[in-house]
Amino acid sequence: MIIDCHGHYTTAPAQLQAFRDAQLAHFRDPSKPEPALAAISDDEIRESIENNQLRLLRERGADLTIFSPKASGMAHHEGDLAISQVWSRISNDLIHRVCTLFPENFIGVCQLPQNPEAPVETSVEELRRCVLELGFVGANLNPDPSGGWWKGRPLTDRSWYPLYEALVELDVPAMIHVSGSCNDNHHHTGAHYLNADTSAFMQLIQGDLFADFPDLRLIIPHGGGAVPYHWGRYRGLADMLKKPPLAEHLMKNVFFDTCVYHQPGIDLLFEVIDVDNILFASEMLGAVKGIDPETGRYFDDTKRYVDALDIPESAKAKVFEGNARRVYPRLDAALKAQGR
């Protein structure tokens, strides 16, 4: 089977964004009414999925998406901790409804109620709820909850450890994924996302996080940002910083996805990164929506690029399925419970 480890609910019914707008309006001006999420019917959810992610999943021949709230919508820099908690809960509950309506095609990954002013342990409760009550299999961890200003601490700082402890205890991985950028210098999908991937990887090189958390698993999306393209630089920097070789220092715990939207990029990724560290993903729907005039195919139809690789079928099976089952053990258990 083919598992896409990185999809976002960018097509949620309009009631969700209306709630968010009203929530932030109320936060800024408490004289405005405190909103509640307007009812969303199952049919509305079905329609939003069947005409979009599910249609594309089927057209492209994939089976299941590991599904999370819209990344740019998390906006942990907006409002305060309480705002983030309510917003995360509502967003995650909607993912849960999608997964309940389409149990064979979607499984949840949660948004965390981070806030730049709040310690990360305040995210642990929502992580537990999503994993233990809603059947989610992972979390999206924002390394920059300040939204493009990078006011917080690197991922190797001990302040993050309570979250890592919970991830390890629950046996779920985190995808390192920023949200929107409120810094005009960094376009969100064209700069901030990739830069965050790159900075996160370098932070991990500088630190020794996996000495403290040998069982922690982190997915760096968008093909690892700039990292595979500059793999020589990173091997060299690890050496200059007197760290072990990357295979040993990081690559038992760090995984890259295949959200790289052209064949030469995917070719490079597979040339330099061990196939055990690559997870199939498309990031659909919406980061790059169009059709590549050079191929006549959607830029984000990343399955075609992987299909075109001259590697053994057994390697493709790892990338499409086996690695995801290994990195997300709760996904594997859920699939086995379905007889898959």
Does the protein bind a copy of itself through residue 111 (CB under 8 A)?
no
Q: Give 202 or 335: the residue with its C-beta nearer to a copy of itself.
A: 202
Amino acid type, 262: H
Does the protein bind a copy of itself through residue 147 (CB under 8 A)?
no
Give the residue, chosen from 194, 278, 331, 334, that forms a contact with a copy of itself under the rule CB under 8 A: 194
Give the residue, chosen from 26, 97, 230, 304, that forms a contact with a copy of itself under the rule CB under 8 A: 230
Give the residue, chosen from 4, 78, 126, 144, that forms a contact with a copy of itself under the rule CB under 8 A: 144
Give the residue, chosen from 69, 135, 138, 143, that forms a contact with a copy of itself under the rule CB under 8 A: 143
Report the alpha-carbon angle 305-5-214, nearest 5.
Answer: 115
3 state DSSP class of 227: coil
Structure tokens at 252: 């038992």
Measured CA to CA, the distance from residue 130 to residue 99 in angstroms comes to 12
Does the protein bind a copy of itself through residue 189 (CB under 8 A)?
yes
Q: How far is the CB of 118 from a copy of itself (least distance, A)?
A: 18
Q: For the chain, first and last CA: distance in Å? A: 9
Site for a copy of itself in 265-284 (CB under 8 A): 265, 267-268, 271-272
Given the residues 283, 294, 313, 321, the one annotated as active site: 283
Does the protein bind a copy of itself through residue 262 (CB under 8 A)?
yes
Measured CA to CA, the distance from residue 48 to residue 53 in angstroms comes to 8
Place of tokens 């996160």: 200
CB atoms within 10 A of CB 200: 26
Q: How far is the CB of 248 from a copy of itself (least distance, A)?
A: 13
Instruction: Kindly list the distances between the CA atom of residue 186 and the CA atoms of 47, 166, 177, 195, in Å, as whole numbers in the listed order.
Output: 33, 31, 15, 9
Structure tokens at 269: 């990724």
DSSP symbols for 41-80: -HHHHHHHHHTTHHHHHHHHT--EEEEEE-HHHH-TTSS-
Does the protein bind a copy of itself through residue 289 (CB under 8 A)?
yes
Structure tokens at 128: 């537990």
Q: Give 95 or 219: the residue with its C-beta nearer to a copy of itself.
A: 219
Per-residue x/- mask for a copy of itself, residues 201 to 220, rule CB under 8 A? Answer: -xx-xx--------------
User: How many binding residues for a copy of itself (CB under 8 A)?
Assistant: 57
Does the protein bind a copy of itself through residue 234 (CB under 8 A)?
yes
Does the protein bind a copy of itself through residue 309 (CB under 8 A)?
no
Does the protein bind a copy of itself through residue 239 (CB under 8 A)?
yes
Measured CA to CA, the distance from residue 221 to residue 212 in angstroms comes to 23
Q: How far is the CB of 310 from a copy of itself (least distance, A)?
A: 15
Lateral strand order in the sheet of 64-69:
3-9, 64-69, 106-111, 138-141, 174-176, 218-220, 254-257, 278-279
Examine the residue annotation and report whether 283 is marked as an active-site residue of this protein: yes
**What kind and span of H or E run contains 6?**
strand 3-9
Active-site residue set: 283
Which residues contact a copy of itself (rule: CB under 8 A)? 143-144, 148-150, 152-154, 183-187, 189-191, 194-195, 198-199, 202-203, 205-206, 222-223, 225-226, 228-237, 239-240, 260-262, 264-265, 267-268, 271-272, 287-290, 292, 294, 299-300
